[in-house]
Amino acid sequence: MDENSQFGAFLDLERTSQAAFGEYKRIVLEKSARKTVLEVGAGRQPLFKPDELRQYDIDYVANDISQVELDAMPVEVPKYAFDASADVPDECVGRFDFIFSKMVQEHIRNTPRYYRNLSRMLKPGGLALNFHPVLYAVPFIINRLMPETLSDPLLYMMRKDRTRERNPKFPALYDHCVISEKVRANLKAQGFREVLQVPFYGHGYYKMFPGIRTVHAKVTSALRRRDFTPLASFSYTVAIK
């Protein structure tokens, strides 16, 4: 399968943050059907339900750095607790057709090694998809600069769906969470034939501030029209082995 057909599902997406979140599961399901699949950072909330695994004939494996998070997973699937940017189990090498993650890459300390490990775990021709924030969007700059002692309580105050016990906050480092030719070349050098970054614009953070929300909508529209990737808010980073 050539790069155009592998990348096709990503190229026609509307470049808004709503589309990034809204279309993600559909795309992952399409890429996972009848495949052996690893979800990196699945934690206690895997993307798939048991009936979806059966419907799409997905051979699914869950990963997380925390065994505690995996133990809290409500479905019974194969689980591996390991840091995907460190050493990976021998039984995962060359095993997977498709590897994906959602809001994980920003927490990785050594992103080049992470991608090298993704390449090692993929079969030839396999695909990796990482959905992650882009650092230079204002909310992520604030999060990067703000001490954890301030950012943690602020997040839990603003997001009632986030608690320390359920969907906790982890330190965000944003290593390689930038859209650029340099980043793509660096990631490609870790064992991939091609790397694509798909930018998405806008952020739901501004919905809480009526005046700023209006300005943000206008700025976002202009950035999207010009496809000004340095100020994108999110990216699908897609790599083909």
- Cα 157 from chain centre: 24
Q: Is residue 153 situated within a structural domain?
A: no
Q: Is residue 147 situated within a structural domain?
A: no
Tokens of 140: 């992520």
Q: What is the mean pLDDT of the chain?
A: 86
Checking if the pLDDT of 117 tops 70, the result is: yes
* pLDDT attached to residue 39: 98
Q: Is residue 163 situated within a structural domain?
A: no
Q: Is residue 115 situated within a structural domain?
A: yes
Q: Cα(first)–Cα(last) distance of the chain, in Å?
A: 11
CA angle 62, 137, 230 (to 5 degrees): 100
Overall number of domains in the chain: 1
* pLDDT attached to residue 202: 85
Backbone angles phi, psi at 223, to 5 degrees: -60, -40
Q: Is residue 162 situated within a structural domain?
A: no
- The 10s digit of each residue's pLDDT in 168-203 is 556 788 999 999 999 999 999 999 999 999 999 987
Containing structural domain, residue 226: 3-135+172-240
Q: Count Cβ atoms below 10 Å from residue 33 Cβ, excluding itself.
A: 13
List the CATH number of the domain containing 215.
3.40.50.150
- Cα gap 140→233, rounded to integer Å: 8
Q: Is residue 158 situated within a structural domain?
A: no
Mean pLDDT of 46-66: 96
* pLDDT attached to residue 4: 65
Checking if the pLDDT of 24 tops 60, the result is: yes
Q: Please report how many Cα atoms fall inside a 13 Å half-sphere around the Cα of residue 92, on the Cβ side.
A: 25
pTM for this one? 0.86
Tokens of 40: 């990196």
Q: Is residue 98 situated within a structural domain?
A: yes
- Cα gap 74→7, rounded to integer Å: 32
- Cα gap 58→158, rounded to integer Å: 36
Is residue 162 very low, low, confident or very high in pLDDT (cuts 50, 70, 90)? very low
* pLDDT attached to residue 218: 72
Helices marked H in 33-161 — which ranges?
A: 50-55, 67-71, 111-121, 138-145, 148-158
Q: Is residue 232 situated within a structural domain?
A: yes
